[in-house]
């Protein structure tokens, strides 16, 4: 039993709907996903590969004992929830590739641990990409390029370098 009567839409509400809905479509800006600058990514897709996010580095990857890995011969650690994707774009468990030295693209999380790993196809491996020795930035914040004064922890306060020197 339907006890509520449905009111007929008033002429005013129909007129407002006809005017407001098209006006909203003209005022809406472009979608954020479309505003991504394609030059911000180093695109292996030009060589038949995948698109990788900005800040992705390349290195040789070896799973020693999950989550312990080696990147370019240095001991590293996989982040909790890290994802490893194969050349076939499938998820790979770290235990299944233990002991294999692979060429990969990878990203790091805020703590510096390896978050995402992509095992490369031969086409993707031919594309040039920055590695950890030569980062994407114009500077590497952890290494001083000049051989100027450095703090070794034993320098007296009055002999420390002053900002701007």
Give me the pLDDT at residue 136, please.
47
User: 């790091």: which residue's tokens?
Assistant: 108
Which burial class, exposed, middle or buried, applies to 58 when counting CB atoms under 10 A from its CB (0-12, 13-18, 19+)?
buried
- Would you call 15 helix, strand, or coil by DSSP? helix
Give me the pLDDT at residue 84, please.
97
Task: For the chain, list the strands marked E by DSSP.
Answer: 57-65, 68-71, 74-85, 101-108, 114-119
User: What does CATH list as the number for 47-126?
Assistant: 2.40.50
CA atoms within 13 A on the CB side of 114: 28
CB within 8 Å of 7: residues ≥ 6 apart: none
What are the residue ranges in the chain where pLDDT is below 70?
Answer: 1-2, 4-13, 15-17, 21-43, 45-48, 132-152, 163-165
Check: CB of residue 114 under 8 Å from CB of residue 55.
Answer: no
What does the block give as tokens for 107? 């990203």
Buried b (16+ CB within 10 A) or exposed e, 97-112: beeeebebbbbbeeee
Q: What rounded mean pLDDT belongs to the chain? A: 77
């Amino acid at each position: 039993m339907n006890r509520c009567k449905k009111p007929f839409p008033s002429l005013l509400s129909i007129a407002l709907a006809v005017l407001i809905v098209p006006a909203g479509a003209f005022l809406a800006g472009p979608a954020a996903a479309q505003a991504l600058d394609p030059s911000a990514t180093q695109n292996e897709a030009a060589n038949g590969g995948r698109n990788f996010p900005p800040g992705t580095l390349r290195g040789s990857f070896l799973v020693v004992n999950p989550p312990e890995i080696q990147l370019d011969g240095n001991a590293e650690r996989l982040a909790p929830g890290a994802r490893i994707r194969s050349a076939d774009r499938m998820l790979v468990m770290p235990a299944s590739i233990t002991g294999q030295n692979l060429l990969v693209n990878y990203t790091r999380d805020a703590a510096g641990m390896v978050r995402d790993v992509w095992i490369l196809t031969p086409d993707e491996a031919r594309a040039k990409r920055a590695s950890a020795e030569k980062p994407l930035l114009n500077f590497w914040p952890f290494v001083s390029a000049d051989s100027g004064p450095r703090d070794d922890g034993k320098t007296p306060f009055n002999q420390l370098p002053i900002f701007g020197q």
